[in-house]
Amino acid sequence: MDMDSHSVGTSSTHPYTCLSCSLAFVDASSQREHYATELHRYNARRRVAGLQPVTKETFETKVQSSAKVGEDGKEIITQEKSEGKKLACKACK
């Protein structure tokens, strides 16, 4: 996605918005492209939780810090990640 196609806030030159990320876009296709990004999904979840959106730079930093990389540069898949987290409420334990 081209960074020139969106900005913070809205105006007559950027009429398409994303309320979850606090971004404005010049056209509908840029807005639709943004909606397909992981950044938008992350900020949409934050919005539901009542939290402020994060910037693209902050999001990328969070992603990089959470990914574990081996010596060969490939992501290490932990047992927890491959099996999925097993959650249970107190009543189900």
Q: Per residue in 8-60, pLDDT tens? A: 554 667 889 999 999 999 999 999 999 999 999 999 999 999 999 999 999 99
Q: Per-residue pLDDT for 92 more than 90?
A: no
- Report the DSSP beta bridge partners of residue 3: none
Q: Is the Cα torsion angle 69, 35, 43, 26 positive or negative in sign?
A: positive
What per-residue confidence (pLDDT) applies to 72? 60
Contact 76, 69 (CB under 8 A): yes
